[in-house]
Structures are given as C-alpha cells and as structure tokens.
Chains A and B, each alone.
Chain A
Amino acid sequence: MKLNCKGQSSVADALAFFLISSTLALFLLGFANSYGNNFSTQAANEQFRDYASSALKVIMYTSVPRNPQCTLDCCPAIPGNPCVSTDKVPEYDFLLAAVKEDFADDGAMDETAPILRDQIAAIMKPLASTSDYAFYFYSGNPLINPYPYFLWYRTVTPADILNHVKDTLNNSVSCSSGKPGCHIFYYCKPATKNDVDNFLFSIPNINKASSNIILAKAKGINDPPDKIESEVHFALWPSAAIIEQSPGYMLGKLNCCDANQDACRIATFVAIPGGPVGNVTASFIPQPVSLTWNASTTPGQYTDFIGKIRVTNLSTTDYSNVQVSVQAGTGGCNLISELNSTSFVLNAGAPHELTFRVSKSGLRASGTSTACNFDVKVNGTIVDTKSLQISFN
C-alpha cells in the first residue's frame, strides 16, 4: 500500500542521480588530479636525455692543452687553487684527438683519463648532486682492452657506509665525510660486455647517449695501424641505489677503484678469458715526481729522485718474458735516466721491485723545484685471466 504512494519513487530516482553524479564527479576529480603526470615524467626524461646527448657532444668538441699540467686558462695550474701563472697555454688540441693519440700507443687511455674526468665533471656540475652517470669507451675488440676508459660517478648509499665500501670512503678525498648522498668517481675495468650490460640493466630510469668512433692502434713503425670501430657511451640516471646482489657488488664486478686515490692509478691489464696468449703491454703513468733544489751545491742543482716500481702478478700462473721499462714522458724534465730491465719470470703472487733514478741537468736558482713526468711499461706473456698490477713509490 505504501509503495504505491506518490513521491517515493522520485526520492529513489534522485538518490540514484546523486550516486551517479557523485561517481562522475569523483572520476573527474581523479582525472584532473592525474592529468599530465605522464607528460611531466616524459618531459623530465626528455630533459635528461637531451642533457646526456649534449654532454657527450661537448666532451668530444672541447679543447685541451697538450701539457697535462695546464688547464685551458692557466699554465701551470694547481687543481682547486686560483691561477697564479701569467704564462699563456702554449698548445691546444681537441680532447678527442688527445684520447685517440693516447689509445694508439698501448690500447689504454691512461694519460688522458684525468683530463677526461675533469671535463666530464665540469660539464656535469649542474646535475652533480642529483644524478649518477657513467662515461665509457667500448673498443669491441677482445684482443685489446675492451673498455679502455670507464668512469662511473656513483652515489654513496647508506648500505655502502655499513659495508665494505666504508674502507674506501675513509680515504676518499671527494667523500671524506662518508655521508650517504655524496658522490665518488670510480675508474673501472670491466672484463666483459656482459658485466656492463648487467650493470646498466640494473639501473632504473637510465638515459643513454651513444656514438660511434674509430680508434687506431699502432702495430709497428712500418705497419699501418689497426682501425678499431668503437663506441663511446654516456649514461645518466637520477641518483639512486642500484639493484645489486649485495652492497658494492657492482663495484667489484666492474673492477672499480676510487679515481681520487693514487692507488687507483695502477694500470691493470685484464686478459680476456679464452683470448689469445701472447705478448701484451700494460702501461702506467704515475704522478709527476717533484725534484727540489739541492742546497748543498752551488750555484744549484736538482737532487736526483730515486723511485721504486713494484710489479705484482695477481694470477695463479707465472708470467714469463716480463720486462719493465721507465721512459721520460711529457713535462718539465730534460733528462730521466732510463731503466730497461732484462726479461724475468714474474712468479704468481710474488711482487717484483725495480729501482730507478730520475735526474735533471742544468743549474737552477735556489729554492726552485720542478715536476718530472715519466711512464712505466710492462711487457709480458699473459697466460691467465688475472691481472698484472703496477705500483710506484
């Protein structure tokens, strides 16, 4: 009887209408709220991608002084200090040309490594606190060093602080506070492409720019150089802890060391598993040696420097026909007495030490000092996948 009363159905209709319009309103509010989120994400990604490709181009375009002790504005330059020299930088070259030249002699980019690092760091300064990145060359040729240069700018995570990376942080110049969020430059020597692919795969939101490049590797005086079709990559991603099996796993997998540490300048040659057996050369450019004025001589001579080269075979196999040579490099020295050891057998695990002397002729004003550059080369028959380690003191 009551159901037949008028007015009942109109209330039910109105409630139904209220329900429908409220649902629509909610949907509209939700849509309005999320509208454009995808666009914002894509715009941010586009910005990162654009920055990465621009950075790669600029790194390759820029000039560098031929003298490694100079910057574009100051010669000689002391890193982190105002320029006090009024001398003009005598000679420039393209960074890419310097890199190619460096690679040509020994298949490594050890001499240009710090220059490249400084250029990359300068260009990436605006994103330095919020982004991580990796810059590397891939030669694609397993007979030569597959990754002649691999730089990784990495965030220190809380897990790093608690784990084995802590030891590295204690000695780190760039991250001496050891606080999470600071960044460290690492030089890496990945052995295989798989290691690098796995590394890049573990990084979320990565933006990458790549380019092809032809490197040349000298064979002999009369032989034409080998042309090596290579790639240069620049990967950029927002600072975040990467997905890895354990803290610092990737650092170990990619064979990385803190680029600010002197010990990281150790040249490590890694033979490729299943690769050829034969003569290979590892090269090592130590920090310049400073020769000081000898006060006991009049009018003045530089005191000779006596250094030690230590070569260690980290493999389980003995290396034969190993020969160490120290040669004058670029820099202010007129003469460095050259050391050429006779061939010897470098036993597995046992270090081998050689002493050499650096001197400089000519009379100098009292109180002056000079920097001497030199490089060390080790030739040997590498028959294992382990590394050869060279250090200097």
Chain B
Amino acid sequence: MKEKKPKSGFAKKFSKKLNRKGFIGPIGDDLPSLIPLTFALVIFFGAFAFAFNAFDQKKIDFDQKFALLRIGQTLKGDNLIENYEKWNALCHNVEVRNFKYRAVVFKIPVNTGQYQDYQFFKEQQGHDPCNNSNLGTNCQPPLFDYGSPSKPQVLICQNNSDELTQKNAPSYNLLRINFPVAINDNGVIRPALLAVAVWR
C-alpha cells in the first residue's frame, strides 16, 4: 500500500483553496463570464466597423451627388448659354477634385414627338446622328457646336477623356442628371438639355 506523501506548505494552501466552493482559480473563476464578455465585444466592434464603413461609403456617395448637383448648377448658370465663351467661362468655374465628370449640351427636337437621350456609354450610343431627317430611335443626338467643321467649339466640359464602356459600368458608379437650358443659335433661342455625368 502506497503511503500518502505529506503535502508541502504551498500545496496545502492551494488544496485548501480548491476545496472552497465555487472557486476554480483566478482565471478559471471568471471563465463563464468571459464567454458573454467576448461575444459582446465582438458584436459591438463588428457593428462599429460596419457602421464606420457604411458612413464612409455614404459620405463618398453624398460627395458624388453634391458634385453632380454642383457641376449642373454651375454650368447651367441662368439657364441661357449665349455663346461658347460663356460656356467656357462656366466650365472653368467647375471645381471637382475626387471625381471624374463630363457635361454636354445637346439639342432637343420640338414638335416631332421624338426624343433621344444623350448616351455616355459607348455601346449605347447610336451610330448615326439624330437630325431633322433622322428621327429614328437608334440615333445619337449631336452635341451643340458653336464652331465650324474646321474649328469645332462643341459644348462639352470634362476633366478627363476616358471612354465609358458598359462593361466597366459597375466600377464607375456613374451618376447622371439632366437640366433644361436655352442656347442661342445665331439669334434663335432653342431648348436644349445639359447632361452631366459624374463617376469614380
């Protein structure tokens, strides 16, 4: 028969502590409480990170919307574009840093019942220009030009010359707005549309 070895001082004290009810050690004693504590922290910081990302993303969206409205309002001015110089001056007043933009002015037909919106994506642009003899549904409205074929002064204002394609459309997150404007075409005031697109 094996004889029990008498316990040392420390072991005696520890054994005494262990025998106390509910006590499972300095960490072990709090182990059950650590589980909800950890979950709580994970949930809180997870929600915090999600909210932070959401705020950040929405801020970018707001900035893009603001930029869109600001560009539109700057370029339309008093809604009358009298000449190319005025358009140019308005274009130089546009200050947008973090986004790419393109703004164009195109004529709209009156009394024909036909309307073609200007398409920014290359694939959606019609092959032929819309004019008096071509009112088809698959034409591209030509941009208003104050110049001549040799020296065009097209009403376009942009901070890049990227070609927008539908293939890459999701990455652009393109926003678009139209404003009616009147343009002075050799003394005749015509209705036209100012189309502004802003993308990332």
Q: Give chain A's interface residues, CB within 8 Å of chain B.
A: 5-8, 10-11, 13-15, 17-18, 20-22, 24-26, 28-29, 31-33, 35-36, 39-40, 43, 46-47, 50-51, 54-55, 57-59, 61-63, 71-74, 77, 79-83, 92, 94, 118-119, 122-123, 125-126, 128
Contact indicator per residue, chain B 48-77, by CB within 8 Å of chain A (1) or not (0): 101100110010011001000100110010
| Residue of B65, B108, B191 ringed by the most chain A CB atoms within 10 A | B191
Determine if B43 and A43 form an interchain contact, defined as CB atoms under 8 angstroms apart: no
Q: How far is the CA of A10 from the CA of B34 in the complex (A)?
A: 9
Partner of A47, one of B34, B115, B177, B190: B177
Chain A residues closer than 8 Å to B78, beta-carbon distance:
57
A–B complex contacts, Cβ < 8 Å, 10 sampled: A6-B22, A7-B29, A8-B22, A22-B40, A50-B73, A54-B79, A80-B112, A82-B135, A92-B187, A122-B111
Q: How far is the CA of A47 from the CA of B76 in the complex (A)?
A: 13
Report the nearest A residue to B54, measured CB to CB: A32
Q: A54-B79, A79-B111, A122-B115 are in contact. Are A14 and B34 (CB under 8 A)?
A: yes
Q: A18-B39, A62-B191 are in contact. Are A71 and B111 (CB under 8 A)?
A: yes
Asked if B1 is at the interface of the complex by the 8 Å CB criterion, the answer is no
Asked if B114 is at the interface of the complex by the 8 Å CB criterion, the answer is yes
| Residue of A18, A33, A118 ringed by the most chain B CB atoms within 10 A | A18
Determine if A11 and B32 form an interchain contact, defined as CB atoms under 8 angstroms apart: yes
Asked if B169 is at the interface of the complex by the 8 Å CB criterion, the answer is no
Determine if B44 and A80 form an interchain contact, defined as CB atoms under 8 angstroms apart: no
Q: How far is the CA of A39 from the CA of B63 in the complex (A)?
A: 11
Determine if B24 and A61 form an interchain contact, defined as CB atoms under 8 angstroms apart: no
Q: A15-B36, A50-B179 are in contact. Are A25 and B114 (CB under 8 A)?
A: no
Report the nearest B residue to A85, measured CB to CB: B132
Q: How far is the CA of A79 from the CA of B79 in the complex (A)?
A: 27
Determine if A82 and B132 form an interchain contact, defined as CB atoms under 8 angstroms apart: yes
Partner of A74, one of B69, B76, B132, B181: B132
Q: How far is the CA of A63 from the CA of B191 in the complex (A)?
A: 9
Given contacts A31-B51, A71-B112, 15 further A-B contacts (CB under 8 A): A14-B34, A14-B40, A24-B44, A29-B47, A36-B58, A39-B62, A40-B65, A51-B179, A54-B79, A71-B110, A73-B109, A74-B132, A119-B110, A126-B193, A128-B115
A163 CB to nearest B CB, Å: 28
Can you list the 5 inter-chain pairs with the closest CB atoms, starting with the nearest?
A5-B22, A25-B47, A14-B33, A32-B51, A83-B132
Q: How far is the CA of A33 from the CA of B80 in the complex (A)?
A: 41
Residues of B in contact with A, size category: 35 or more
Determine if B113 and A79 form an interchain contact, defined as CB atoms under 8 angstroms apart: yes
B118 CB to nearest A CB, Å: 10
Q: How far is the CA of A88 from the CA of B67 in the complex (A)?
A: 42
Report the nearest A residue to B136, measured CB to CB: A82
Determine if A36 and B36 form an interchain contact, defined as CB atoms under 8 angstroms apart: no
Q: How far is the CA of A33 from the CA of B112 in the complex (A)?
A: 46
Q: A10-B33, A33-B54, A122-B191 are in contact. Are A82 and B133 (CB under 8 A)?
A: yes
Q: How far is the CA of A60 from the CA of B189 in the complex (A)?
A: 10
Determine if B40 and A17 form an interchain contact, defined as CB atoms under 8 angstroms apart: yes
Asked if B172 is at the interface of the complex by the 8 Å CB criterion, the answer is no
Asked if B11 is at the interface of the complex by the 8 Å CB criterion, the answer is no
Q: How far is the CA of A57 from the CA of B47 in the complex (A)?
A: 49
Asked if B41 is at the interface of the complex by the 8 Å CB criterion, the answer is yes
Determine if B179 and A62 form an interchain contact, defined as CB atoms under 8 angstroms apart: no
Q: A10-B30, A31-B51, A123-B108 are in contact. Are A73 and B189 (CB under 8 A)?
A: no
Partner of B79, one of A61, A81, A128: A61
Asked if B2 is at the interface of the complex by the 8 Å CB criterion, the answer is no
Partner of B47, one of A28, A40, A92: A28
Determine if A21 and B43 form an interchain contact, defined as CB atoms under 8 angstroms apart: yes
Report the nearest A residue to B32, measured CB to CB: A11
Report the nearest A residue to B189, measured CB to CB: A63
Chain A residues closer than 8 Å to B44, beta-carbon distance:
21-22, 24-25
Determine if B21 and A5 form an interchain contact, defined as CB atoms under 8 angstroms apart: yes
Chain A residues closer than 8 Å to B147, beta-carbon distance:
none
Partner of B69, one of A13, A14, A18, A47: A47
Report the nearest B residue to A24, measured CB to CB: B44
Chain B residues closer than 8 Å to A22, beta-carbon distance:
40, 43-44
Determine if A79 and B112 form an interchain contact, defined as CB atoms under 8 angstroms apart: yes
Determine if B50 and A11 form an interchain contact, defined as CB atoms under 8 angstroms apart: no
A62 CB to nearest B CB, Å: 5
Q: How far is the CA of A77 from the CA of B133 in the complex (A)?
A: 11
Determine if A35 and B54 form an interchain contact, defined as CB atoms under 8 angstroms apart: yes
Asked if B180 is at the interface of the complex by the 8 Å CB criterion, the answer is yes
Chain A residues closer than 8 Å to B89, beta-carbon distance:
none
Determine if A122 and B108 form an interchain contact, defined as CB atoms under 8 angstroms apart: yes
Chain A residues closer than 8 Å to B76, beta-carbon distance:
54
Q: How far is the CA of A32 from the CA of B47 in the complex (A)?
A: 9
Chain B residues closer than 8 Å to A62, beta-carbon distance:
182, 189-191
Chain A residues closer than 8 Å to B72, beta-carbon distance:
50
Report the nearest B residue to A124, measured CB to CB: B180
Asked if B153 is at the interface of the complex by the 8 Å CB criterion, the answer is no
